């Protein structure tokens, strides 16, 4: 099984990150030196996914521009002899082939994925939410791709969350039939704390078989009045055709301010040149009453 395409829905409004995201897409907010979405695309590239399909709206096309050449800037850097920066900027433009699909109405994550059908055709594909970050020894989405290839089934990535946060996510229930791999029996979008079948929450990582489009097409709006990807996956779960992988690594939800800021510090601490100053400043801040 060959999986080359990754669908990255980016048409959402980012209301959780306002006012920063009034005119700047939430996917382009920086985490240390790179925009959030670049980490997501790099995770895909490091997994061998080479074709990126952005599901976008008319106000956020600057996201695609980030993965294209900026000739004026490149020429300037070349003239000034800033070779290292030039290489870095060029590498971003060349890391993936980009396809952009318009989601003309923002009707939900399921609707966004359905918009990709024309460019996906009959191949299995990955979906990565544009502001959900996974870091660790191996790329997050690779953990799903490996299982999808071995089992020939759709796979969602899950992590355990505290009980009081289950109503923010898709929640699964299933049997763990191999270490960290579950056959999903039930999947419910943003359940009330009292109704949650478990604390295993779906992170924004999926590998899907094209059968998902048949289920998405027939869906009525679900939670929040949106066409929910979770509702299509619940149909596959009932047929025994959905797996979940407990993800190894650290996840950051860039739409949550505490996590967004923590991610910035996490990356900045890895920069030798910055580390000492940053630690000193943080200690100073923490000792302030
Ligand atoms: C979406 C999915 C949800 C999943 C979440 C992960 O929700 O609908 O099942 O748990 O992404 O980030 P959203 O954050 O778009 O409301």
Tell me the per-residue pLDDT of 30-51, one tens digit each, with 9 for 90 and over. 999 999 999 999 999 999 999 9
CA of 65 to the centre of ligand 1 (A): 25
| SS3 state at 159 | strand
Tell me the per-residue pLDDT of 132-153, one tens digit each, with 9 for 90 and over. 898 888 999 999 999 999 999 9
Please list, in sequence order, all residues whose beta carbon lies within 8 angstroms of the beta carbon of residue 151, skipping any fewer than 6 positions away: 243
CA of 60 to the centre of ligand 1 (A): 20
Hey, where are the domains in the chain?
A: 5-255, 257-289
Q: What per-residue confidence (pLDDT) applies to 227?
A: 96
Q: Does 221 have pLDDT greater than 80?
A: yes
Atom of ligand 1 nearest to the CA of 170: 9
Q: What's the CA gap between 208 and 240, in Å, rounded?
A: 14
Q: What per-residue confidence (pLDDT) applies to 205?
A: 97
Pick from 202, 228, 229 the residue to mutate for probing ligand 1's pocket: most ligand atoms within 8 Å of its CB.
202
Contact 31, 133 (CB under 8 A): yes
Q: What per-residue confidence (pLDDT) applies to 121?
A: 87
Q: What's the CA gap between 208 and 147, in Å, rounded?
A: 11
Cβ atoms within 10 Å, residue 71 = 9
Extract the tokens encoding 194: 């009292």
In 3D, which of 285, 286, 207 has the Cα closest to residue 245? Answer: 207
Handedness of CA 158, 164, 165, 168 (dihedral sign): positive
CA of 45 to the centre of ligand 1 (A): 22
Atom of ligand 1 nearest to the CA of 228: 8
As a whole number, the mean pLDDT across the chain is: 95
Atom of ligand 1 nearest to the CA of 131: 12
Say whether the peptide bond before residue 19 is cis (omega within 30 degrees of 0). Answer: yes
Q: What per-residue confidence (pLDDT) applies to 92?
A: 97
Q: Whose CA is nearest to atom 11 of ligand 1?
A: 204
Tell me the per-residue pLDDT of 159-193, one tens digit each, with 9 for 90 and over. 999 999 999 999 999 999 999 999 999 999 999 99
Atom of ligand 1 nearest to the CA of 255: 14
Tell me the per-residue pLDDT of 83-103, one tens digit each, with 9 for 90 and over. 999 999 999 999 999 999 999
Range 5-255: architecture per CATH: Alpha-Beta Complex (3.90)
Q: What per-residue confidence (pLDDT) applies to 1?
A: 85
CA of 149 to the centre of ligand 1 (A): 24
Q: What is the DSSP letter of 224?
A: G
CA of 170 to the centre of ligand 1 (A): 6
Q: Whose CA is nearest to atom 7 of ligand 1?
A: 169
Q: Does 131 have pLDDT greater than 90?
A: no
Q: Does 288 have pLDDT greater than 90?
A: no
**Buried b / exposed e across 173-188, counting CB within 10 Å, b at 16+?**
bbeeeeeebbbbeebb
Pick from 191, 204, 251 the residue to mutate for probing ligand 1's pocket: most ligand atoms within 8 Å of its CB.
204
| SS3 state at 284 | helix
Q: What per-residue confidence (pLDDT) applies to 289?
A: 67
- For residue 212, what pLDDT band results from cuts at 50, 70 and 90? very high
Distance of alpha carbon 204 from the chain centroid: 5
Average the pLDDT over 274-278 and give the result: 96
CA of 190 to the centre of ligand 1 (A): 8
Q: Whose CA is nearest to atom 9 of ligand 1?
A: 170
Ligand 1, pocket residues at CB < 6 Å = 109, 129, 132, 169-170, 189, 201-204, 228-230
Average the pLDDT over 205-209 and give the result: 98
Q: What's the CA gap between 285 and 8, in Å, rounded?
A: 37
Q: Does 69 have pLDDT greater than 80?
A: yes
User: Can you give the pTM of this predicted structure?
Assistant: 0.95
């Amino acid at each position: 099984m060959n999986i080359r395409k990754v669908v990255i829905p980016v048409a959402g409004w980012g209301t959780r990150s306002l006012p920063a995201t009034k005119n700047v897409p939430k996917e382009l907010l920086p985490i240390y030196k790179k925009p959030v979405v670049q980490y997501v695309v790099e995770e895909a590239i490091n997994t061998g996914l080479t074709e990126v399909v952005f599901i976008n709206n008319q106000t956020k096309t600057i996201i695609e521009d980030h993965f294209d050449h900026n000739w004026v800037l490149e020429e300037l850097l070349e003239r000034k002899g800033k070779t290292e920066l030039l290489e870095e900027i060029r590498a971003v433009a060349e890391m993936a082939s980009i396809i952009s699909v318009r989601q003309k109405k923002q009707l939900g994550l399921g609707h966004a994925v359905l918009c990709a059908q024309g460019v996906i055709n009959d191949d299995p594909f990955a979906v990565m939410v544009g502001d959900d970050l996974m870091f660790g020894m191996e790329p997050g989405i690779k953990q799903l791709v490996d299982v999808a290839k071995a089992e020939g089934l759709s796979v969602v990535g899950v992590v355990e969350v505290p009980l009081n946060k289950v109503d923010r996510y898709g929640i699964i229930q299933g049997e763990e039939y191999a270490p960290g791999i579950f056959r999903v029996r039930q999947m419910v979008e943003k359940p009330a704390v009292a109704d949650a079948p478990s604390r295993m929450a779906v992170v924004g990582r999926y590998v899907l078989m094209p059968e998902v489009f048949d289920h998405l097409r027939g869906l009525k709006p679900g939670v929040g009045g949106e066409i929910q990807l979770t509702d299509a996956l619940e149909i596959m779960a009932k047929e025994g055709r959905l797996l979940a992988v407990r993800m190894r690594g650290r996840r950051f939800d860039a739409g949550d301010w505490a996590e967004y800021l923590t991610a910035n510090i996490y990356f900045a601490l890895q920069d030798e040149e910055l580390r000492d100053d940053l630690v000193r400043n943080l200690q100073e801040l923490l000792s302030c009453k």
